[in-house]
Amino acid sequence: MTGLRVAMIGCGFMGAAHSQGWRTAHRAFRLPLAPEMSVVVGRRAEAAAEAAAAWGWAGSSTDWRAVLERPDVDLVDIVTPGDTHAEIAVAALEAGKHVLCEKPLANSVAEAETMAAAAERAAERGVRAMVGFTYRRVPAAAFARQLVADGRIGTVQQVRASYRQDWLVDPQTPLSWRLQKDHAGSGALGDIGAHAVDLVQFMTGQRVQRVTGVVETIVGSRPLPAAARGLPGTGTAEKGEVTVDDLAVFTGRLDSGALASFEATRFATGRKNALRVEISGDRGALVFDLEDLNSLRLYDRTAPEDRQGFTRILVTEPSHPYLSGWWPAGHMLGYEHGFSHQVKDLVESIAAGTDPHPSFAEGLHVQRVLDAVERSAARDATWVDVQAMATI
């Protein structure tokens, strides 16, 4: 086993989660390359140094451009706000570094197109790029894709997907970068709706072709954090404008013509991280719920009438996706394991010289879906075609 030297740009919440993946993947799975956590980059030297010490990085820096020039860095992991993704990713790929970039891929279709084009050019030189839609790596979600592909529920007829949180219900929750369009691109739509779109496409093997939807900003201004009070362009000295959506509700038409409904909200009181996908087919149905992430519910419509009903499958067997690297059957996995599985898949693709999934092209397609929803909402929820398709 040889090494894969990693630099991570960003040291917030996703930095902690990605660090967990880099620390553990090669200990749980027999990887062809062992990740080496070389350096973490942050805006403030003190914060970056604290993150390095806490999460296991060998060093820290405040200059991501200098890090890209280092010969002891093979891969760059981008966990910064969306407005920086394109610049960092394109520069890293051009420097010959493999790239893992958090979702959504960018803040706009134009940025995502630039990133996808850079990834395509880099692939010709053996440099790989992947976008971090981590929920694909939950074993139950991966098993759901397998069941659909195997025809277990027959022809997909309808899909319902929702991602509901409640962390913005309190109007006194301070303004943050996630509530500012110039930093985040969009609100609930891009932050969590992107996950719902990607997971539906991943599970069904189909793409969203057309959408109709609405978006809503429920609380239009919020208290400024103490450090930001009085800055120009933020409304009053005490409050700043929320420039993204709090809620998005939309319908999508899949490749097959089936309808998929989507809801993304940060105002679902009592819901903390409720990502749920239900796929209905002519032979059965299945339900994935992130708040019960070690199980999948399957309905077999072909069973005798007196034996029909949703069956709970405990997805912890060694034969289930990713489980062979972990614990005996019935010993549950958690949220953090998806990041280890993400590293596993990426490292194996790099070692094999194959393109990892989801690719930047797939991330671009999700970006185009998000853009189509916003365009539909601006036109009183008229149907809008999603732009040219990417390969799933």
| CATH topology for the 136-385 domain | Dihydrodipicolinate Reductase; domain 2 (3.30.360)
The pLDDT score that the predictor gives to residue 2 is 84
Q: Is 353 left (phi over 0), alpha (psi -120 to 50) or beta?
A: left
Q: Report pLDDT digits (tens) over 285-306.
A: 999 999 999 999 999 999 999 9
The pLDDT score that the predictor gives to residue 382 is 96
The pLDDT score that the predictor gives to residue 387 is 83
Does 258 have pLDDT greater than 90?
yes
Helix 109-123 with 85-94: angle, nearest 10 deg: 10
Q: Report pLDDT digits (tens) over 2-32.
A: 899 999 999 999 999 999 999 999 999 999 9
Contact 391, 361 (CB under 8 A): yes
User: Can you point out the beta strands (E) in 117-186?
Assistant: 129-132, 156-164
Does 231 have pLDDT greater than 60?
no
Query: How far is the C-alpha of 259 from the C-alpha of 391, rounded, in Å?
Result: 20
Give me the residue label for tokens 């960003």. 10
> Could you tell me the pLDDT band of residue 391, with boundaries at 50, 70 and 90?
very low
Does 365 have pLDDT greater than 90?
yes
Does 392 have pLDDT greater than 80?
no
Q: Report pLDDT digits (tens) over 313-323.
A: 999 999 999 99
Measuring CA to CA, which residue among 383, 303, 2, 322 is closest to residue 145? 322
pLDDT over 70, % of the chain: 96
Q: Rounded to a whole number, what is the distance in angstroms from the first to the last CA of the chain?
A: 31
Q: Is 331 exposed, middle or buried (0-12, 13-18, 19+ CB in 10 A)?
A: exposed
Give the Å distances, CA to CA, from 10 to 47, 231, 264, 266.
Answer: 10, 24, 25, 24
Report the C-alpha dihedral over residues 214, 218, 223, 227, rounded to 10 degrees: -20
Contact 326, 67 (CB under 8 A): no
Lowest-confidence segment of 229-233, 256-260, 282-286 by average pLDDT: 229-233
189 secondary structure, DSSP code: I
Q: Mean pLDDT score of the chain, rounded to an integer?
A: 95
Same fold yes or no, 2-135 and 136-385:
no
Q: Domain boundaries in the chain?
A: 2-135, 136-385
Mean pLDDT on 382-392? 71
Contact 78, 111 (CB under 8 A): no
Q: Report pLDDT digits (tens) over 131-158.
A: 999 999 999 999 999 999 999 999 999 9
User: Can you point out the beta strands (E) in the chain?
Assistant: 2-9, 33-41, 59-61, 75-78, 98-102, 129-132, 156-164, 208-216, 221-223, 239-241, 247-254, 259-265, 274-281, 284-289, 295-300, 311-314, 384-385
Mean pLDDT on 272-293? 98
The pLDDT score that the predictor gives to residue 66 is 98
pTM of the model: 0.94
Query: How far is the C-alpha of 340 from the C-alpha of 355, rounded, in Å?
Result: 18
User: Can you point out the beta strands (E) in 10-153?
Assistant: 33-41, 59-61, 75-78, 98-102, 129-132
Lowest-confidence segment of 75-84, 235-244, 326-335 by average pLDDT: 235-244
Does 344 have pLDDT greater than 70?
yes
Q: What's the CATH superfamily of 2-135?
A: NAD(P)-binding Rossmann-like Domain (3.40.50.720)
The pLDDT score that the predictor gives to residue 234 is 44
The pLDDT score that the predictor gives to residue 229 is 43
Q: How many CB atoms lie within 10 A of CB 157?
A: 15
Mean pLDDT on 55-62? 98
Query: How far is the C-alpha of 47 from the C-alpha of 56, rounded, in Å?
Result: 14
The pLDDT score that the predictor gives to residue 366 is 98
Q: Report pLDDT digits (tens) over 328-338.
A: 999 999 999 99
Does 175 have pLDDT greater than 80?
yes
> Could you tell me the pLDDT band of residue 1, with boundaries at 50, 70 and 90?
low
What are the backbone dihedrals phi and psi of residue 220, each rounded to the nearest 5 degrees, phi first?
-85, -15
> Could you tell me the pLDDT band of residue 203, with boundaries at 50, 70 and 90?
very high
